[in-house]
């Protein structure tokens, strides 16, 4: 709680820092777009929509009422396959050609937002609503207590991609609003699922051991669930722990974090911390970040069954801590605030720019320090649900860049290398789904995967984009980002992005040093020329060019001692990269 006091004390400085993010007097092209479902107006900057597929049959609300039962939700990726969750089931797409994606499989299986993760031949799906059934039936469950009801995490065998088979269904007391796949790099015979349940506790008559009372020593509140999944026998998956990650370390009280309520005059009313909405794990650095209703927390996951809280922060401008994203080197974490629950218009011109926004924290020695806020800067109408939601890192070496969905605020790509001064560099937005009333729609998530951005549009379908070069992001930087390839991506199981020792990557660092004016234009030009000669020559001419590149690398390494920390990192990374690229040429 002492850290909460520190953040409140900094509040005046925080508001001052936000002044630069206020919308400019020039009219943003996203303002006033034409409403429509398939013919809405579009505004885009430095991004191209490559393809769009509407929701398939059975996943569109037949009543047109615009409720949640048929909207798209989260995404997972494996190879050339995209798995798109929906409150009514799952859809599998082949995106080998991002300009021509194909629907492969539709699976009706209602029960909640259908958060999805994939690991090899296993697919995991979250179920939270009371209508969920063990058999995936659509008739729901009418009884108060029923053996037919399912709330928890489903496990499917997708070894036959076109015929997924449910092989396990692990029940939990609060269901699974979201879940996070945890892979222990020391033991790949088992994977773990961190389950975040946000609804009410079910009756112990339905699931033994559930306890709804907050003062019960065995309460099902104030914890997460950890499911252990033996990879060779996933049908035996089971809950193995209920970590009390909100406990007071001095008293042991399970309700040791934010108690709910506002932080004083003019502040948000922040939710009680008795749950996590989302947890992002970063196994490569042994940390996880939990967005947990009233707090953002940092966890040590060296023992994945028993995560330990290292730090917790609160924010007087946050209503509900929703999701978390690390930067690639694990020195920053972004938390999003889902003010209004994602169903309300919270990006109007009258809404505060630091409410329903992202908060950026730096991380050092297991502690988080507030850096700044980011909110998509274009005012939206009262017919558009809009607030910070799900996004991922765009792997440009030398920079911290994120793409993020803002529901009907569209998607926004922004640079947060300087935590105190994040800046938008690209965007895509459509007009309201309806001109008459607010119908819930927009980008649930926008994620980068192997060179493209994939958007889960709740009411419209699947979108695939590519970023375009601009003064904010060069073609060299985009080419370098495209070299960071993954076999699979579950965004809440963040992976370390690694770039090959390539002159493509070296050019990206040079572009950044030129943009920041850390290196003179003449030296940048000489370095680029030497790299080009090395790539397009052979024999003695190539050796001479590589010697010139090596000289530039040595000079930049020396200059790093006097540069800013960010530019010093780029200089050293350039030197390491060109030496690796040169060594590869000699092999």
Q: What mean pLDDT is predicted for residues 301-330?
A: 98
* Burial degree of 214 (CB within 10 A; 0-12, 13-18, 19+): middle
Do 484 and 515 lie in one domain? The reply is no
**SS3 state at 2:** helix
| Both structure tokens of 95 | 């995106």
Looking at the domain assignment, is residue 116 inside a domain? no
pLDDT for residue 169 is more than 50: yes
Domain count, the chain: 2
Residues 380 and 281 in one domain: yes
Confirm if 547 and 586 have CB atoms less than 8 A apart: no
pLDDT value at 99 more than 50: yes
| 560: DSSP letter | G
Residue 23 has pLDDT above 90, yes or no: no
**Does 430 lie in the same domain as 556?**
no
Domain interval for residue 296:
2-108+243-489
| Same-domain pairing of 377 and 453 | yes
25: confidence class by pLDDT, cuts 50, 70, 90: low
pLDDT tens, position by position, 523-537: 999 999 999 999 999
pLDDT computed for residue 21 by the predictor:
47
Length of the chain in residues, anyone? 587
Question: At residue 185, does pLDDT exceed 50?
Answer: yes
Whole-angstrom distance, CA of residue 74 vs CA of residue 76: 7
- Arithmetic mean of pLDDT over the chain: 94
pLDDT in tens, 194-235: 999 999 999 999 999 999 999 999 999 999 999 999 999 999
Half-sphere exposure of 493 (CA within 13 A, CB side): 26
Q: How far apart are CA 151 and CA 220, in angstroms?
A: 14
- Written in H, E and C, the secondary structure of 163-225 is CCEEEEEEECCCCCCEEEEEECCCCCCEEEEEEECCCCCCCCCCCCCCCCCCCCCCCCCCCCE
Domain shared by 346 and 250, yes or no: yes
Burial of residue 526 (CB within 10 Å: 0-12, 13-18, 19+) is middle
pLDDT tens digits, one per residue of 264-313: 999 999 999 999 999 999 999 999 999 999 999 999 999 999 999 999 99
* Separation CA 122–CA 154 (nearest Å): 10
User: Is residue 181's pLDDT more than 60?
Assistant: yes
What tokens were used for 13? Answer: 């400085």
Summarised one tens digit per residue, pLDDT across range 508-560 is 999 999 999 999 999 999 999 999 999 999 999 999 999 999 999 999 999 99
Residue 31 pLDDT > 60: yes
Domain assignment present for residue 31? The answer is yes
* Nearest residue to 315 via CA among 371, 250, 363, 275: 371
Domain boundary among 458, 489, 520: 489
Q: What percent of the chain has pLDDT over 70?
A: 96
The DSSP H or E segment spanning 505 is helix 503-515
- 441 with 540, same domain? no
Contact 356, 407 (CB under 8 A): no
Tell me whether residue 77 is in a domain: yes
The answer to the question of residue 172 being in a domain is no
Q: Which residue has the tokens 């930087």?
A: 477
513, 567 in Cβ contact below 8 A?
A: yes
CA distance 103 to 59: 13
Domain assignment present for residue 418? The answer is: yes
Note the pLDDT of residue 17.
Answer: 40
Let me know if residue 127 belongs to a domain. Answer: no
Strand 390-394 with 443-449, pairing: parallel
**pLDDT at 15 > cutoff 70:** no
pLDDT tens digits for range 466-498: 999 999 999 999 999 999 999 999 999 999 999
Distance, CA of 439 to CA of 55 (rounded, Å): 16
Longest dimension (CA), the chain: 82
Q: Are residues 307 and 391 in the same domain?
A: yes
Q: Which of 432, 467, 489 is the last residue of a domain?
A: 489
| Encoded tokens for 568 | 């010093």
Query: Do 335 and 392 fall into the same domain?
Result: yes
CATH number at residue 84: 2.130.10
Asked if residue 578 and residue 440 are part of one domain, the reply reads: no
SS (H, E, C) 141-180: CCCCCCCCECCEEEEEECCCCCCCEEEEEEECCCCCCEEE
Using the predicted structure, report yes or no on whether residue 1 has a pLDDT greater than 70: no
Sign of CA dihedral 269, 272, 273, 275: negative
Instruction: Please tell me whether residues 475 and 557 are part of one structural domain.
Output: no
DSSP secondary structure letters along 367-404: EEEEEEEE---S---TTS-B---EEEEE--TTS-EEEE
Q: Are 422 and 558 members of one domain?
A: no
- Could you give the 3-state DSSP secondary structure of residue 443? strand
Beta bridge partners of 183: 191
- List, for residues 138-167, the tens digit of each pLDDT value: 999 999 999 999 999 999 999 999 999 999
Both 424 and 513 in one domain: the answer is: no
In a domain, 496, yes or no: no
Confidence (pLDDT) at 62: 80
The answer to whether position 576 is within a domain reads yes
- Tell me the residue ranges of DSSP E strands in 406-550: 411-415, 423-430, 443-449, 452-457, 461-467, 488-489
Q: Which of 484, 537, 480 is nearest to 509 (CA)?
A: 480
Question: Among 455, 489, 523, where does a domain finish?
Answer: 489
């Amino acid at each position: 709680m002492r850290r909460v006091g520190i953040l409140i004390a900094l509040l005046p400085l925080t508001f001052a820092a936000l002044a630069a993010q206020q919308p400019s007097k020039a009219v943003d092209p996203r303002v006033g777009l034409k409403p429509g479902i398939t013919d809405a107006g579009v505004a885009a900057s430095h991004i191209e929509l490559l393809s769009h597929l509407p929701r398939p049959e059975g996943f569109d609300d037949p009543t047109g009422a615009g409720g949640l039962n048929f909207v798209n939700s989260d995404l997972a990726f494996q190879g050339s396959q995209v798995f798109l969750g929906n409150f009514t089931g799952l859809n599998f797409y082949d995106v080998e050609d991002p300009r021509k994606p194909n629907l492969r499989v539709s699976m009706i299986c209602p029960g909640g937002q259908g958060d999805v993760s994939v690991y090899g031949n296993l697919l995991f799906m979250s179920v939270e609503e009371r209508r969920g059934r063990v058999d995936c039936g659509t008739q729901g469950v009418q009884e108060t207590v029923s053996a037919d009801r399912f709330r928890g995490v489903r496990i499917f065998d997708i070894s036959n991609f076109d015929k997924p088979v449910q092989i396990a269904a692990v029940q939990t007391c609060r269901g699974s609003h979201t879940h996070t796949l945890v892979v222990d790099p020391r033991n790949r015979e088992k994977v773990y699922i961190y389950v975040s349940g946000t609804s009410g506790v079910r009756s112990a008559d339905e699931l033994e051991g559930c306890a709804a009372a907050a003062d019960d020593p065995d309460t099902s509140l104030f914890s997460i669930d950890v499911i252990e999944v033996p990879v060779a026998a996933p049908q035996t998956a089971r809950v193995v722990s209920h970590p009390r990650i909100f406990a007071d370390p001095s008293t042991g009280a399970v309700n040791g974090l934010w108690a709910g309520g506002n932080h004083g005059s003019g502040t948000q009313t922040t939710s009680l911390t008795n749950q996590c909405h989302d947890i992002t794990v970063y196994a490569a650095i042994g940390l996880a970040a939990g967005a947990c209703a009233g707090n953002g927390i940092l966890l040590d996951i060296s023992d994945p069954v028993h995560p330990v809280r290292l730090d917790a922060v609160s924010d007087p401008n946050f209503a509900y801590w929703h999701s978390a994203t690390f930067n690639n080197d694990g020195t920053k974490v972004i938390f999003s605030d889902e003010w209004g629950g994602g169903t309300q218009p919270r990006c109007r011109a009258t809404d505060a720019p630091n409410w329903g926004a992202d908060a950026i924290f730096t991380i050092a020695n297991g502690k988080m320090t507030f850096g700044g806020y980011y909110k998509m800067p274009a005012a939206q109408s009262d017919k558009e649900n809009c607030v910070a939601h799900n996004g991922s890192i765009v792997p440009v070496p030398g920079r911290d860049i994120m793409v993020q969905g803002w529901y009907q605020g569209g998607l926004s790509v922004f640079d947060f290398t300087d935590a105190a001064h994040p800046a938008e560099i690209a965007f895509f937005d459509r007009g309201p789904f309806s001109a008459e009333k607010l119908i819930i729609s927009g980008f649930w998530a926008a994620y980068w995967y192997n060179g493209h951005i994939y958007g889960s549009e709740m009411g419209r379908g699947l979108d695939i984009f590519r970023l375009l070069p601009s003064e904010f992001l060069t073609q060299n930087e985009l080419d370098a980002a495209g070299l960071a390839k993954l076999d699979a991506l579950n965004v809440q199981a963040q992976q370390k992005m690694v770039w090959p020792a390539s002159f493509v990557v070296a050019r990206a660092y040079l572009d950044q040093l030129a943009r920041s004016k850390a290196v003179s234009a003449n030296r940048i030009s000489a370095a680029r020329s030497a790299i080009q000669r090395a790539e397009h020559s052979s024999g003695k001419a190539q050796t001479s060019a590589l010697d010139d590149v090596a000289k530039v690398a040595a000079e930049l390494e020396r200059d790093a001692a006097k540069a800013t920390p960010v530019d010093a990192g780029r200089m050293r990374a350039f030197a390491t990269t060109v030496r690796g690229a040169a060594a590869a040429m000699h092999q």
